[in-house]
Amino acid sequence: MKYNEDDINKLLEITSRAGAMMLKNGAEIYRVEDTVERIIRSIYNASDIDVFATFNAMMYSFNVDGKTYANVKRVKNRGNNLIIVDRVNSFSRRFCNHELTLDEALIELDNIRKTTKIDPKVTIIGAVLASTAFPILVNPKAPIFLDLPITLIVSFLTFLIFRRVEEKMFGYFIENFVAGIMVSFLTIMIGKFVGGFNMANVIISSMMPYVPGFILTNSIRDLMSGDATSGLVGLTMSLFISLALAIGVAVPMTFL
What are the domain boundaries of the chain?
A: 5-115, 120-255
**Is 224 buried (19+), middle (13-18) or exposed (0-12) by CB count in 10 A?**
exposed
Give the percent of the chain with pLDDT over 70: 98
Q: For the sheet containing 57-64, what is the strand order?
A: 47-53, 57-64, 67-74
pLDDT value of position 76: 83
With CA atoms as reference, report the closest residue to 87 among 18, 13, 28. Answer: 18
Quick one: CA dihedral 142, 208, 229, 90, positive or negative?
positive
With CA atoms as reference, report the closest residue to 43 among 106, 121, 136. Answer: 106
pLDDT digits (tens, 9 = 90+) for 23-67: 999 898 999 999 999 999 887 678 899 999 998 899 999 988 888
Task: Please give the span between the terminal C-alpha atoms of the chain, in angstroms, as a whole number.
Answer: 74
Angle at 34 between CA 104 and CA 112, to 5 degrees: 35
* Mean pLDDT over the full length of the chain: 90
3-class SS string, 14-79: HHHHHHHHHHHCCCCHHHHHHHHHHHHHHHCCCEEEEEEECCCEEEEEEEECCEEEEEEEECCCCC
Cβ–Cβ < 8 Å for 61, 69: yes
Q: Which residues of the chain have pLDDT under 50?
A: none
pLDDT value of position 2: 56
* Amino acid present at 203: I
Compute, in degrees rounded to 10, the torsion defined by CA atoms 185, 169, 116, 50. -130
Query: Which residues does 122 contact at the CB level (< 8 Å), separation at least 6?
Result: none
* Amino acid present at 55: F
pLDDT value of position 105: 95
pLDDT value of position 142: 78
Count of CB atoms situated within 10 Å of the CB of 4: 8
Cβ–Cβ < 8 Å for 214, 27: no
